[in-house]
Amino acid sequence: MSADSNLHIDPARLWGSLMELARPEFGGTPDGGMRRVALSAWDGAGRDRFRTWCAAAGLGVRIDPIGNIFARYEGADPARAPVLVGSHLDTQPTGGRFDGVLGVLAGLEMLRTLAEAGVRPDAPIELVCWTDEEGARFGRGLIGSGVWAGELALAAAEALTDRDGISVAAALEAIGYRGHSAPGPLPDAYFELHIEQGPVLEDAGLRIGVVTGAQAQAWFEAVITGREAHAGTTPPAARQDALVGAGRIVDLVDRMMRARGQDGRGTVGRLEVRPNSPNTIPGEVRFSVEFRHPSDDEIARLAAQFPREAGFIARDAGLRLDIAPRHRIAAQPFDPACIALVEQAAAGLGLPARRMISGAGHDAISVARAGVPVAMIFTPCRGGLSHNPAESITPEEAAQGCQVLMNAVLARATTGPAGTAREP
């Protein structure tokens, strides 16, 4: 055990900060939800409050050109690569109070605890607030971590525009978060605490999810075309009903998912009917399709099988089907040593935990793609509900996740980068 094993975070202070950032001036809504969309005035206000807290905790803050905020807690050996922790402060337009925010404020609570106790780990610890994880405004998410990781060019990110034609660059300027800090060396490791956004932990009665990686994904956009015609006058043999074909393809996606057991995901989330009039046979239906699975091979099979089988369904119904692959994301395994540290931290605290895959996208995935050793910690959320004003966790769950985060980070920061134990 390290010298810091008896350090305890302050659950009330953590909860207080969470509730503070949920106030109306930071995008809180009367239904208990949030609308702190990336680079909005509410996001600016939230970031400002976060920086004030960082300054009060004695942390040095720098801001990079895409608006990522880094707060540094110095290590005993400032030359060592820092251990990075963090998440995001932006929310969905009708989002909740914990998605993202928990990871940032748990990191802050950890650094407040270390500062108060005067504990100085060997490696520096940096806390990051990534810009626009949610993707609710500029057409794509993971903007800050994507630029940082080199997956997205800065100029391309700056040129993204919202519905009103406002660019990311202009939006950063408007809230004063277009910074100048140059990228430092890669961190030694990255830990991110996040709510699960799914029902697995709650259903299993567990407190901590030890996240071993992210799923592979394949996304499609489909257009199925039939012939618009009068619903009352067109006999069965003359019908080319685009919605009948689309309905069967929605069912196909569900069946393809279920054939792969509980690890698969298959969803048609968006579907639009034209002309969408009760008395007219639909002439066109446009819809999204996404599959996810922990295995790249399984996603490759799904991505090959789906257009073929959907095509048979369309042909049978006399319809034309155009399926365009939209994006394909490889599975991203996290780092075995970092995963082990999280697992050990949970066990050391006596918290029931299990290993699991992340179903959602997270900044941690960008960071891992840059070659940084990464692990994530999940905490339960009520009913698995997220991206929703009713998103809910308990103060105890927040505190437990924060404590696991701190214990894992301290273990990493007081050992060598390769996991070799150092003498305290």
User: Among 140, 161, 157, which Cα is nearest to 148's?
Assistant: 157
Nearer to a copy of itself, 77 or 203 (CB): 203
* CB of 373 closer than 8 Å to CB of 82: no
Least distance (Å) from a copy of itself to the CB of residue 243? Answer: 6
Nearer to a copy of itself, 153 or 231 (CB): 231
Could you check whether the bond before residue 275 is cis, i.e. omega within 30 degrees of 0? yes
Nearer to a copy of itself, 13 or 239 (CB): 239
Instruction: Please give the residue ranges that form the binding site for a copy of itself (CB under 8 A).
Output: 196-200, 203, 215, 217, 219, 228-238, 241, 243-244, 246-251, 254, 257-258, 261-265, 267-273, 276-282, 288, 290, 292, 358-361, 384-388
Nearer to a copy of itself, 161 or 234 (CB): 234
* CB of 110 closer than 8 Å to CB of 406: yes
User: According to DSSP H, which parts of 190-266 are helical?
Assistant: 200-204, 242-258
Nearer to a copy of itself, 386 or 414 (CB): 386
Three-state secondary structure of 356-397: EEECCCCHHHHHHHCCCCEEEEEECCHHHCCCCCCCCCCHHH
Nearer to a copy of itself, 295 or 344 (CB): 295
Least distance (Å) from a copy of itself to the CB of residue 333? Answer: 17
Residues 6+ apart with CB under 8 A from 88: 100, 101, 103, 104, 129, 130, 131, 132, 133, 134, 144, 363
Least distance (Å) from a copy of itself to the CB of residue 90? Answer: 16
Q: Residues 268, 273, 274, CA angle at the centre, nearest 5°?
A: 155
SS3 at position 28: strand
Least distance (Å) from a copy of itself to the CB of residue 256? Answer: 11
Least distance (Å) from a copy of itself to the CB of residue 287? Answer: 9
User: According to DSSP H, which parts of 82-237 are helical?
Assistant: 101-117, 143-148, 154-159, 168-175, 200-204
Least distance (Å) from a copy of itself to the CB of residue 239? Answer: 8
